[in-house]
Amino acid sequence: MKKTLLSIFILSFTIASGSCIAQTRDSLDLKIAQMLLVGFRGMTLAESDPFLRDVKAGRVGSVILFDYDVPTKEYKRNIESPQQVRALTAQLRKAASESGTGIPLFVSIDQEGGRVNRLKPRYGFPASVSQQYLGKLNNPDSTRFYAAKTAQTLAENGFNLNFAPSVDVNVNPDNPVIGKVERSFSAEPRVVAAQAAIIIEEHRKQGIITTLKHFPGHGSSKADSHKGFVDVSDTWKPDEIKPYADLIAKGNVDMIMTAHIFNNRLDANVPATLSKRIITGILRDSLKYQGVIISDDMQMGAIADHYGLETALEKCINAGVDIVCFGNNLQYDPDIITKAMSIIKRLVVEGKIPRTRIDESYKRIIALKNNIK
């Protein structure tokens, strides 16, 4: 009799626990956490590290690695060798698997090639070339060769998300953040789209998700949105949207990153990242893109210097952004996860962000993560 009662108790506890887990998987906290991408410091993470604890608790859905730490001006951030990177990414993925959510972690990096190259040869990684180099060659075989090498390197070292290719059209070759640093394939939208399609295809073969950037086009800017407000109203060309339209129509898009540029021809009030007219009106409604949209780094000067964190979060999520990026490298805030989660949750509770917006983003993120190998 005692054994029977004990068995019933254990069964009841198991069912209750399972119900609790199911509720947790659908909780508002979990959905908000999946909307956060955050950077951190460390070549490895101690078990007591707050960031690792957040990953284990399922409080962050995506992470990003850098080699250079901007605030300290040192190449001592997350990358020093292939062996170390593989150990770090494995540690992060294992921590996410222990969260109990059953949701994998996006482990991301900016690896366009050329100047935007976190996995440098001096750390023991293969050499890369810039997108401008590939665009000038305009040789599909050459692009495929370098893209395959990059994708294989990422897969071998534990990454599953690359913030590349840049599909900014080279409207202004002297652009300090695009053209001048060889990040654009070409001034011809069709060349940009064709080159990007090859990059995406080779990454997909290795199970790496790619990201088109920076919508609706950063190629005409005369200033760097990392440093402050950037107005492209007089320089932006409609051709800058063509690579997106082409790639979306062909089903070649995993994720799209927004630009922090201001363009009063598209929205007279706010930069693109915060603009419902641009993100929902143009990208979702006009171009029919229904996949994941990620913001550019919300700590960049174009946003952080002009909008408070609460205003920026409210506007970008209501605009249609699914993942909010905090590289945590232009400035370092060890509490950014807690701050962002609490602000977003409060905005939902207060009705300033509809719960349906969180649900939409969560569904898109989970659908994309189902493609992780």
Separation between Cα atoms, residue 244 and residue 214, nearest integer Å: 10
- Could you identify the residue written with the tokens 């972690």? 105
Catalytic residue among 226, 254, 297, 322: 226
pLDDT tens-place string over residues 254-280: 999 999 999 999 999 999 999 999 999
Tens-digit pLDDT profile for residues 289-322? 999 999 999 999 888 889 999 999 999 999 999 9
Contact by Cβ (8 Å): 254, 235 = no
Interatomic CA distance for residues 370 and 20, integer angstroms:
23
Rounded Cα distance between 106 and 65, Å, is: 11
In the predicted model, what is the mean pLDDT of the chain?
Answer: 92
Dmax over Cα atoms in the chain, in whole Å?
Answer: 83
Buried/exposed 51-83: b ≥16 CB within 10 Å, e otherwise:
bbebbbbbbbbbbbbbbebbeeeeeebbbbebe
Is the Cβ–Cβ distance between 339 and 312 less than 8 Å? no
User: CB-side exposure of 115: number of CA atoms within 13 Å?
Assistant: 12
pLDDT at residue 305, rounded to an integer: 87
**What six digits make up the tokens of 77?**
């951030």
Main-chain phi, psi angles of 127, to 5 degrees: -70, 150
At residue 227, the pLDDT reads 59
The whole-number pLDDT of residue 254 equals 97
226 in active site: yes
Taking residues 25-52, report their average pLDDT. Answer: 94
* Nearest CA-CA partner of 259 in 305, 309, 295, 287: 295
Contact 272, 308 (CB under 8 A): no
- Catalytic (active site) residue 214: no
Of 246, 296, 297, 322, the catalytic one is: 296
d(CA 221, CA 177): 8
- The helix-helix angle for 355-369 and 309-319 (nearest 10°) equals 70
What is the pTM assigned to this prediction? Answer: 0.92
Q: What's the Cα-to-Cα distance from 339 to each of 114, 295, 333, 345, rounded to whole Å?
A: 35, 17, 10, 10
pLDDT bin (cut points 50, 70, 90) of residue 17 is very low
Given a cut of 80, is residue 166 above it in pLDDT?
yes
All structural domains of the chain, each given as residue ranges with its CATH number in brackets, are 29-369 (3.20.20.300)
Name the helix (H) or strand (E) containing 37.
strand 36-39
Q: Give residue 222's pLDDT.
A: 86
Instruction: List the beta bridge partners of residue 113.
Output: 116
Q: What six digits make up the tokens of 135?
A: 């665009």
